[in-house]
Amino acid sequence: MIDYIRGPVAHIEEEWIVVDVAGVGYRVFTPNPYAFAASGEPVTVYTHHHVREDAMLLFGFATREEQRLFRALLEVSGVGPKVALGVLAGARPEAIAAAIRQENVAFLTKLPGIGRKTAQRMILDLKDKLDRGTGFGPASGLDDLPAEPAAAGGQGAGTAWPEAREALAALGYTAAEIDRVWQTISGSVSGEETADALVKRALTLLFRG
């Protein structure tokens, strides 16, 4: 099994990146391709090598936590690689794990591809596992999540934030990622900031992960 690959990102698409490893381009499907900057510098992508009858696919992640949670999600009945990838695109691993521990169905059903029955299966299959040495223990500090992912209205930024939000969505970021960034910066946003300035602030946080 391929556990990780390392090399510069040669190409980025909406659903995947190409990593150049010693002259061989590996296509890697990832929750947020735009988190990997095509700067020419080598990056480490933690991978899951998925083999099926008609294809061999690589799924890649920026952190070990994402990789572990992706593999845990594949153990849930009815959750395949595509759905698991969508879940990780919708929220950070720590937030997803906290919602599972809290049995927070409302939060989980806001994630892409997750209905109520699938959310309940996730809780049933993974709740205990996420507390046993998986890197998602209560010490993550995210056990006080709201009932559902918060929406970002951008009320304190006039029309600048809605414009910035559209620009970030055009770059491929999910609504959950954009809303999470807004929660971080909203308290310090003045009505005088432009959409471009807000996009730059948001991208700084998104690139950090």
pLDDT for the residue numbered 134: 52
pLDDT for the residue numbered 139: 36
DSSP H or E stretch at residue 8: strand 4-12
Distance from C-alpha of 35 to C-alpha of 28, rounded to nearest angstrom: 13
SS3 39: coil
With 50 as the cut, is the pLDDT of residue 25 above it? yes
Ranked by mean pLDDT, which of 95-99, 130-134, 159-163 comes out on top?
Answer: 95-99
Tokens 């809303």: give the residue: 179
- DSSP assignment string, 158-175: TTHHHHHHHHHHHTT--H
Nearest residue to 152 via CA among 188, 111, 105, 184: 184
Ranked by mean pLDDT, which of 31-35, 43-47, 91-95 comes out on top?
Answer: 43-47
Q: Once rounded to an integer, what is the mean pLDDT over residues 75-92?
A: 91
pLDDT for the residue numbered 49: 93
Q: Which two tokens stand for residue 75?
A: 């153990």
Distance from C-alpha of 101 to C-alpha of 143, rounded to nearest angstrom: 8
Select the more confidently predicted residue: 58 or 167. Answer: 58
Domains of the chain are 4-61 (2.40.50.140), 65-140 (1.10.150.20), 155-208 (1.10.8)
Asked if residues 63 and 136 have their Cβ atoms less than 8 Å apart, the reply is: no
pLDDT for the residue numbered 208: 60
With 70 as the cut, is the pLDDT of residue 144 above it? no
